[in-house]
Chain A
C-alpha cells in the first residue's frame, strides 16, 4: 500500500471519528449512543490495524485487537446490559438547542486544530495530520459530558473521550508502549463496571438517573 493512500485512509478514518463524535453530541437516544460508541471503537480499531499494517509496528496489531475486543464488543455489551437492567433502553433525552451545541463544537474543532497544528508537523508518522482531530474529538466528548444530564450518556461521553485520547496516542506516536495500553484498558474496563454499579445506587437513592436531581451539594 502506498504511503499516500495510507495517509488518505487514515485521514478518512479520522474524519469518521470526528463525524461520530458530532453525531454523539446531537444524539438524543441512549440506544443510538451506544451504537455510535461501538462504531467509534470499530473505526479506531481499523485505524490502528491500518497503521500497524503500513508501518510494520507489530505491537499495534495487539492494540488494535485490544480495542476491538474492549470497545466494540465488551463495553457496548456491558452498556447494553446496563440499559436493559435499568430499563432505560428507549430513553430519549431532551437536549436543548442542538444547533448551538454543534456550533460550539465546530469552534472546538478549530481550537483543537490550532493547538495541535504547531506540534503535529514535528511528527514523522503517517498519521500526523490527525492529532488535531484527536484533540477535537476529546474536546467534543468533553462537551458532551457537560451538556448531558443523565447518567448513562455521561458514561458514554466519558468513554468516548478515552477513545479520542487513544486516537491521539496512535496519531501522534505509533501508540503507547503495550504495558501502558493494557493498564489504560484495564482502568477503562474497571471504570465502566464501577459506573454500572454506581448507576444502580443512584437510582436506588434518587429514583432517577437524572444528574440534575442530585445536585444538592453546593457551596452555600
Chain B
C-alpha cells in the first residue's frame, strides 16, 4: 500500500516537474520546423527561475482573489496531474480519476482565471476573459462528448478503468474512437490556447486570448500561471495518450511494468509533442469568430464518434 502511495506521489511530482520540459519540447520542435534554432528545451525552466526571483507587482485595486488565483489554478492542475493515470492505473486514488470530475477541475481553474482577469478592471483583461469563456463554453461539451465514446466502450467514466479496458483487453478496432481522437485533438488545441485558436507566441492585443488573461501578473504569480498552463498542456497530452494510446501504462504495481511505463512515457510524449508542433506549424490562426465553428466541428465529430460506436458496435 505504501508503495502504491509512493508511486502515486511520484507520478504527480514527475508530471509537475516534466510539464515545462514538454512545453519546451513543443516550442523547440516548432522552432526547428520554422528553421529557427530555438531557445532550447530547458527555456521554460529558466523563465520560471527568473520569474521566481523577481518581486511581484500588483495593481492597486487587486483584490484577494487576484492574488489567490495563481495558487488555485496551479493547485487544480496539480490535482489533475495527480489523478490522470500517466504511469500506472489502479493506484489508490484511481476511483477519483473520473473524466467528468477532470472536466470540472479544469473548469474550476478557468473560472478563477477569468475572474482574476476581470478583477483588475482593465479592458484587455475583460476582453480576454470574455473570449476565454466563449471558447471554453464551446469546448467543454465537446470534451465531455469525447469522453463518452471511450466511456461507453469500457462501461465506465473512470479513467483508470478506461485505460484498463483499452490497453489490456483483446485488440479491437473502435472506429468511434478515431472520431473521438480527432475531436479531442481539436479541443486540446482550443483549450490550451494553441494555433489555430490562439497563438501562444504573440502578444498582439486584438487577437490574443490567453495572454490577455495573464497580462497583469508578474513574478511568482506569473510563474505559477505559466507553470499551470504547461501542466494543463501536459495533462491534456497524457489524458489523450491514456484514452487513445494506452499501451505501456502499468496495470500492476511491480518493477518491470513500471519501468516499461517509464520508458514508454517519454517516447509517447516526444512523438505527441512533435505532432502537436507540426500541426501548429501547418495551420493558420482562425479569426476569433471562426472559433465557434471550429469547436462546433469538434463537438459534432465527438457526437459522430459516439453514434458510430453505438450504431456499428452496439448493433453487432
Question: Using a CB–CB distance below 8 Å, which chain A residues touch chain B?
Answer: 5, 7-9, 11-12, 14-16, 18-19, 22, 26, 98-99, 102-103, 105-106, 109-110, 113, 117, 120-121, 129-130, 132-133
B315 in the interface (beta carbon within 8 A): yes
B179 A11 Cβ-Cβ under 8 A: no
The 9 closest A-B pairs by CB, nearest first: A15-B175, A99-B296, A8-B173, A102-B300, A12-B175, A113-B311, A11-B312, A15-B308, A12-B173
A11-B173, A12-B173 known; A106-B316 Cβ under 8 A? no
- Interface class of chain B by DSSP: helix
Q: Are B316 and A129 in contact (CB under 8 A)?
A: yes
Give chain A residues whose Cβ lies under 8 Å from the Cβ of B301: 22
> Is B172 interfacial (CB 8 A cutoff)?
yes
Q: Check A11–B296 contact: CB distance below 8 A.
A: no
Query: For chain B residues 265-316, which have a beta carbon within 8 Å of chain A?
Result: 292-293, 296-297, 300-301, 303-304, 307-308, 311-313, 315-316
Let me know if B312 and A130 touch, CB within 8 A. Answer: yes
Q: Hey, which bits of chain B sit against chain A, CB under 8 A?
A: 172-173, 175-176, 178-179, 292-293, 296-297, 300-301, 303-304, 307-308, 311-313, 315-316
Chain A interface, DSSP helix/strand/loop, else mixed: helix
Are A15 and B176 CB-contacts (below 8 A) given A99-B293, A106-B307, A117-B315? yes
A139 to B312, CA, bound (A): 18
Give the nearest-CB partner of B295 in chain A. A99
Please report the C-alpha to C-alpha distance between residue A14 and residue B179 in the assembled complex, in whole angstroms: 12
Give Cα distance in the complex from A98 to B301, angstroms: 13
Nearest Cβ distance between residue B198 and chain A, in whole angstroms? 20
Is B303 a contact partner of A8 (Cβ separation < 8 A)?
no
Which chain B residues border A121 with CB–CB below 8 Å?
315
**Chain B residue with the shortest CB-CB distance to A112:** B311
CB-based contact A8/B172 at 8 Å: yes
Contact: A18 with B308, CB < 8 Å? Answer: yes
B303's contact among A106, A117, A120, by CB below 8 Å, is which? Answer: A106
Contact call B297/A99, Cβ cutoff below 8 A: yes
Question: Measured between alpha carbons, how far is A163 from B26 in the docked complex, in Å?
Answer: 40
